[in-house]
Amino acid sequence: MKWMNLWCCSLAWLAWMTLPVHALPAAAQVKPASALSPTAAKRPNIVLLLADDWGFSDVGAFGGEIATPHLDALAARGMRFSNFHVSASCSPTRAMLLTGVDNHLNGVGNMRETMPRAHTGRPGYLAVLNERVVTFSTLLQASGYRTYVTGKWHVGKEPHNLPPQRGFDRSLVQGDSGSDNWETARRYLDLTDKVHWYEDGREAQMPTDYYSSTYFMDKMLGYLRQDQAKPQPFLAYVAFQANHIPLQAPPAFIDKYRGRYKDGWSALRRERRDRAAALGLVPAGTPMVEMASTRHWASLSAEERQYEERRMEVYAGMAEAMDHEVGRLVAHLKQSGHYDNTVFVFLSDNGAEASDPYAKLSGRLWLDWQYKRDLASLGAKGAYTVIGPSWASAVASPLSTYKFYSGEGGIRVPLIVAGVPGVQPGAVHPRFAHVNDLAPTLLELAGLPPQTGSHQGQSVEPMTGRSLLPVLTGRADRVHAPEAAIGYELSGNEALFQGDLKLLRNIAPVGDGQWRLYDIVRDPGETRDLAADMPQVFAAMQKAYADYAQRHGVLPMPEGYDPIRQVEINAFFNVYVPRYRTAFWLTMGVLVLVGAWLWRRRRLRRVSRAVP
């Protein structure tokens, strides 16, 4: 009988240990670090690498000519997602990445800098994470992970939104949309009162000079080395500013590309399209639209072409410099013995940036006061450049549009996942996937269930993404069911994804406000509108989008909204009015006093004249 009891207990223990995570009681799913079992201690480390404003084909493994050997090595080891989507601007993507919740439900329905003032503060339009969402880092931390973040944060500077309150043990972050890459205190535009830096939730003491990509990696490597004796797995989230404006990079990286772009942006767009097709990322001969904002290379003077070439050389150098820092992290993990048990995720927060602040008088006046822009200085400390819409269209090749717009060039970005056991090396997944899918993926890698609407006894917004692991390991051929409808909106530019189809509407100046329908697997360049061929599907998807907008509290844009103009308006009210409020009221007070004195003096004169 004793042997029978022992045998039964052993079977019960074995059955318990082999249950899938979602079948375990909630109390058994998330353990504090002190209660970690030997099995839990073997959970993978997670490295999350977020680039800023990279076009779809910037990475060599996605068809680009820029040298990105370390990212290419991850792609060769793992899987590339060629139909992966984010938001078309920084903070909404970062908010969804952290929470797995649609940006209109997590509080970041728009970026603060481009948000209409009529929307500001409305539900879903806080421009920061609300208190109804839980980050995947919070859940990892609660389960025993060591958690670190360095780089650009951009989801809120309130105490409850800084990294320590969002699940990070150690952090060094820049709080807003960006800053200079050579000088820590220099703003890239007059959009904030100063550059806001935080380390572990407190205002950081920063060096005067640095290079952003190198510094962010230095801090991350410092955190990892300091804690490398600890047995718990780690999350390392490095959010680079490369390639956010201003484009800046060490000269050794820039000069490698001298002469590479002499044939211009249209030639580069075709070259990248053909290489992406050869790599199996887009169909061969994918047709492309030519944006109205793309200038004719042959119409430029020799001096203009030389200047434009250099701008793209700086862009390429900045991207390669970032890849170099990725290589430093990989080398450290190999040296420390963590590489083989680390999952790497790389993505960009949106498509390429086409905006040129010099195109507006207000931007040009401020930038010419703060920065140089002569040819010899581009990329260096104290110099400022952008690639502009023509190069932005090229680096998005073969896609249409760019950052801020809902064409594929604005919201389809490279995604690489490497280090997951069972992944076929070098594989490409061509079906739709979304940034909301990453949080549940990372949680499943850690043996944790997705957050489904409750956290510590409080009701919260549930994660809506789906784990990528079934696709990564070959157990499924789609992340989302063909009938699943996934909506999207940013600044009035809208989309709905369903299977291989995409419903799309862009507002001016890039679009005309009309709905269109595309098959983005066979036609990723969005060149053939299928609305007339599929009228019932077209109508049904418009209804599905309307349902999405209503459920998520999407607000209509004010008449005449223009994102660049809105940046100027918000800068005036958010920066200039607070900055000069005291001087304004003092001036007004003096004017009132002077006016009252003059009025009284004039009145006394009239009275004196009236007396006989």
- For residue 375, give every residue at least 6 positions away whose Cβ sits within 8 Å of its Cβ, in sequence order, or none: 306, 307, 310
Single out the catalytic residue among 154, 429, 434, 480. 154
In the residue annotation, 90 being an active-site residue is answered as: yes
- For residue 189, give every residue at least 6 positions away whose Cβ sits within 8 Å of its Cβ, in sequence order, or none: 357, 363, 366, 367, 567, 571
- For residue 125, give every residue at least 6 positions away whose Cβ sits within 8 Å of its Cβ, in sequence order, or none: 104, 107, 109, 110, 115, 119, 555
C-alpha closest to that of 464 among 491, 488, 445: 488
Strand partners, 517: 503
The token duo for 272 is: 């990248």
C-alpha closest to that of 526 among 554, 497, 485: 497
Cα–Cα distance measured from residue 48 to residue 590, given in angstroms and rounded to the nearest whole number:
56
**Following DSSP, what letter does each residue of 575-598 receive, concatenated?**
IIHHHTHHHHHHHHHHHHHHHHHH
CA atoms within 13 A on the CB side of 101: 27
The token duo for 256 is: 């490698």
The token duo for 182 is: 């050579």
The token duo for 273 is: 């399209």
**Following DSSP, what letter does each residue of 162-211 receive, concatenated?**
SGGGGT-SEEEEE-SS---SSBTT--SSTTSSS--EEETTEE----SB--
The token duo for 569 is: 């308006």
| Whether the Cβ atoms of residue 185 and residue 195 lie closer than 8 Å to each other | yes
Cα–Cα distance measured from residue 89 to residue 102, given in angstroms and rounded to the nearest whole number:
14
Cα–Cα distance measured from residue 89 to residue 97, given in angstroms and rounded to the nearest whole number:
13
The three-class DSSP label of residue 8 is helix
One-letter amino acid identity for 487? G
In the residue annotation, 338 being an active-site residue is answered as: no
Cβ-in-10-Å burial (0-12, 13-18, 19+) of 235 comes to buried
Cα–Cα distance measured from residue 374 to residue 385, given in angstroms and rounded to the nearest whole number:
9
Cα–Cα distance measured from residue 227 to residue 585, given in angstroms and rounded to the nearest whole number:
53
The backbone torsions φ and ψ at residue 496, rounded to the nearest 5 degrees and listed phi first, read: -140, 130
The backbone torsions φ and ψ at residue 505, rounded to the nearest 5 degrees and listed phi first, read: -145, 125
Q: Quickly tell me which residue has 């370390």 as its tokens.
A: 70
Q: Quickly tell me which residue has 């949309």 as its tokens.
A: 177
Cα–Cα distance measured from residue 111 to residue 122, given in angstroms and rounded to the nearest whole number:
13
The token duo for 3 is: 């042997």
The token duo for 455 is: 């956290």
C-alpha closest to that of 91 among 159, 176, 192: 176
Tell me how crowded residue 534 is: count the other CB atoms within 10 A of its CB. 14
Single out the catalytic residue among 85, 90, 104, 324. 90
Strand partners, 485: 498
| Whether the Cβ atoms of residue 503 and residue 517 lie closer than 8 Å to each other | yes
Which residues are part of the catalytic machinery?
90, 154
